[in-house]
A and B are shown apart, each in its own frame.
Chain A
Amino acid sequence: MGFADQFWQLTVDGLMVGSLYAVIALGYTLVYGVLQLINFAHSEVFMLGAFGGLFAARGLLPGGATPSGLTSVGLVAAGLAVGAACGAAAAFTLERVAYRPLRRRSAPRLAYLISAIGASLFAVNLAGKEFGRQNVPVPDLFANGTLFHFFGAQVSTQTVVVFGAAVVMLVLLDRLVARTRLGQGIRAVAQDADTAVLMGVNVERVIILTFVIGGLLAGAGGFLYAMTFNASYNMGFVPGVKAFTAAVLGGIGNVRGAMLGGILLGLVESYGGYVFQASYKDVIAFLVLVGILMVRPSGLLGVRLGRAA
């Protein structure tokens, strides 16, 4: 019954949740990289993406028994795509409504923070009004059950789907930042926005696209999260705080740091929740954060986006 017996099971659980934290954390880190600004409304982008994916899956779901085979794959893919699209649309709107007007007026940093909190409250309550204030489940898109055993740990189909999709997104994002022209642009703006302008980088466009990329990831991540933990109007808050923590843990503004931070946080939570009482899970996660920041104030991989990749 001890910790050692359950080690692999807890690792599998931790990796699944951690990969979701990583996906959300990227949104914080990317925006911080280009704007040196914490986008506190990012958790609502995540929530809106979850609902988008959920409604798409529900709408496309054929009646009758739980789908299987290609239908299941198609439904999950559709949920992810619509979730990502809704997340991107929400992030784009957020940038337009809550941030751009402030940037045009060169507002002080604090104004952005207030604006983000306002946008977040608005989105949460609008969602509560439109979607109800109860938990809303994603319908069963495939027959969930134990798929295989891994050192005695049960790995369910759902875990594989969530973890697999999250890892694919993380890899794609990493390639995008490292290899593409857009990625170059993002890194250039992160290093020095003024110089980037002189070099012919369209900063406005880079900022918008950074928000959209963060939104795509958060929206798809929201759908994956809702498959496991149900969606609700206030679902964004806790994962949002956790993902922000993960971003800080890895070194904010650092893409690979956010990934590492997310996975690490998921694992620590999973182990901690088992060894101590499950209710102390969050306390343990934040103790680790405080501990690491005391030793490495700029996070684990504490370098900025520009130099990271």
Chain B
Amino acid sequence: MARRKLLGAVALAGVVALTAAACGSDDGSSSDGKKTITIGFQGVLSGDNQQLGINALYGVETAVAEANADANLPFKLKLVQSDDAGSPDQGPTAAQKLIDNSDVLAVVGPMFSGATKASEPLYSQAGLLSVSPSATNPALTTLGFRTFYRVIAPDTVQGTADADYIATVLKAKKVFSLDDKSDYGTGLSAALEKELKAKGVTVVHDGINPTKNYTSEATKIISEKPDVLFYSGYYAELALLSKALHDKGFRGITVSGDGSLDAKYVEQAGAAAAEGTYLTCPCSDANSDPNAAAFVESYKKINGGARPGTYSGEAYDATNALIEVFKNLGDNLSRESVAEAFGKVDYQGVTKLVKFQPNGEVEGANDFIYRVKNGQIVVLGNTVDLIKS
């Protein structure tokens, strides 16, 4: 008797699921007669460094909400999320999920370089456009991915600018370059070290996979007595490293890249350990940019008061550039037409002019320096200007 009941329940659940699936795939037109365009988001929505993914997702959602509130647009947007946890292992699965959804015409993401490298072969094969707001490994645009674009400068730009800043403004004679052995970390540290050596700075290199216990690494760093420690990796690990260094009374300057630029770094390291750290990014700070005021306002309204973080502006621009392409294409919408048209897009975003070189790199490339002061991350300015002055 019990068994029969169970069987009934299973059958019922099956029917419900089928109905739901059938309803889900019906997206010809919404209630007000507009057609619906579906876009995907692939990014790091779980794991130690998920704040960066949330920043980007909120940026995409802001653009989508604004578009859907715009009565003049001939379509509505629908967003499908796919979480890759920032890991190369889970990247392909997350990408496949969006590829298999035939409604998805374009994707914002992936976010981390390792996950991007693992996911892009699938997107290329499927002819599905993917626009990364944040994957900065220099090699990504040289691997023959047909449908890959990014709205952020590669780490050759960031690494080189940072090295110049460290050599000329911080006047470092010896730099300890530590990376997290990820695609992002190794790409950034390689670009940095090349330029540092060209400037005659002594470089000590080391790599350490993400861990919790940085005590012996901190001892190693301190024993080398560097003027500057540069960490190429993400904020959760830098926070633990800073804690360990502070615990041992490290006297040098700590510098890290865009992967560490988030308020969570200061929170997790503790204000005392994070104080004075320099953080760099090929991204400007929307919160202090007068041209982005409308975006910041809208972002806060749509995301329950949260302030834009690292990559929020880039994700917002990527989504708006897609919307621009959808507008121009009119009824001729397919994965192919979108991917082809996106290469020719020319859209003024809040972070930069979104316009691409033939290899998929964005044209305008800047690097900015930030610093932790009194427990807050404040922007010091554009690296080139800082070096000049």
Contacts and interface: CB of A to CB of B under 8 A. Distances in A.
Contacts of B240: 135, 229-230
Contact of A13 (B216, B246, B269): B216
B50 interface: yes
Interface string B228-244: 00000000100110010
A57 interface: no
A227 B46 CA distance: 23
B219 A274 contact: yes
A137 B247 contact: no
Contacts of A230: 212, 239-240, 243, 268
Interface string A134-163: 111101100111100000001010110000
A134 B264 contact: yes
A143 B270 CA distance: 11
A141 to B, nearest CB: 10
B223 A146 contact: no
B219 A144 contact: no
B208 A277 contact: yes
A133 B46 contact: yes
Overall SS of chain B's interface:
helix
Contact of B216 (A5, A229, A273): A273
Interface in B15-53: 46-48, 50-51
B220 A156 contact: no
Nearest to B217: A278
Interface in B198-232: 206-209, 211-217, 219-220, 223-224
Contacts of A228: 243, 247
Contacts of A143: 272
A37 B217 CA distance: 36
Contact of B247 (A5, A66, A144): A144
B208 A278 contact: yes
A279 B247 contact: no
A269 interface: yes
Interface in B170-192: 181
B364 interface: no
Contacts of A270: 215-216
A279 B268 contact: no
A98 to B, nearest CB: 25
Nearest to A235: B212
Nearest to B212: A229
B248 interface: yes
Contacts of B46: 133
B89 interface: no
B70 interface: no
B220 A278 contact: yes
B346 interface: no
Given A66-B272, A137-B267, A279 B51 contact: no
A159 B247 contact: yes
A16 to B, nearest CB: 8
B181 A279 contact: yes
A238 B213 CA distance: 10
Contacts of B215: 13, 16-17, 270
Contacts of B305: none
A139 to B, nearest CB: 8
A6 B207 contact: no
Looking at A135, A139, A158, A281, the one whose CB has the most chain B CB atoms below 10 A away is A135
Contact of B248 (A140, A156, A232, A235): A156
Contacts of B264: 134
B249 interface: yes
A269 B269 CA distance: 23
B223 A1 contact: yes
A9 interface: yes
B153 to A, nearest CB: 27
Interface string B252-294: 0000000000001001111110000000000000000000000
A10 interface: yes
Interface in A275-295: 277-279, 281
Looking at B181, B211, B216, the one whose CB has the most chain A CB atoms below 10 A away is B216
B36 to A, nearest CB: 31
B249 A154 contact: yes
B66 to A, nearest CB: 28
Given A10-B219, A269-B216, A232 B48 contact: yes
Contact of A146 (B181, B212, B214, B249): B249
A99 B382 CA distance: 61
A271 to B, nearest CB: 8
B277 to A, nearest CB: 15
B249 A140 contact: no
Nearest to A158: B247
Given A1-B224, A137-B268, A9 B247 contact: no
B345 to A, nearest CB: 35
B196 to A, nearest CB: 20
A248 to B, nearest CB: 20
B181 A281 contact: no
Nearest to B219: A9
Contact of B207 (A17, A139, A238, A279): A279
B218 to A, nearest CB: 8
Contacts of B268: 134-137, 230
Looking at A1, A10, A229, the one whose CB has the most chain B CB atoms below 10 A away is A229
A13 B219 contact: yes
Nearest to B220: A274
Nearest to B46: A133
A10 B243 CA distance: 17
Contacts of A159: 247
A133 B219 contact: no
A143 B247 CA distance: 10
Contact of B50 (A9, A134, A140, A235): A134
Contact of A137 (B212, B214, B270): B270
Interface of B: 46-48, 50-51, 181, 206-209, 211-217, 219-220, 223-224, 236, 239-240, 243, 246-249, 264, 267-272
Across the A-B interface, the 5 shortest Cβ-Cβ residue pairs: A273-B216, A13-B215, A229-B212, A278-B208, A278-B217
Given A137-B239, A235-B212, 19 more contacts: A1-B223, A1-B224, A9-B248, A133-B48, A134-B48, A134-B264, A134-B268, A139-B270, A143-B272, A156-B249, A159-B247, A229-B212, A229-B240, A230-B239, A269-B216, A273-B216, A278-B211, A279-B209, A281-B211
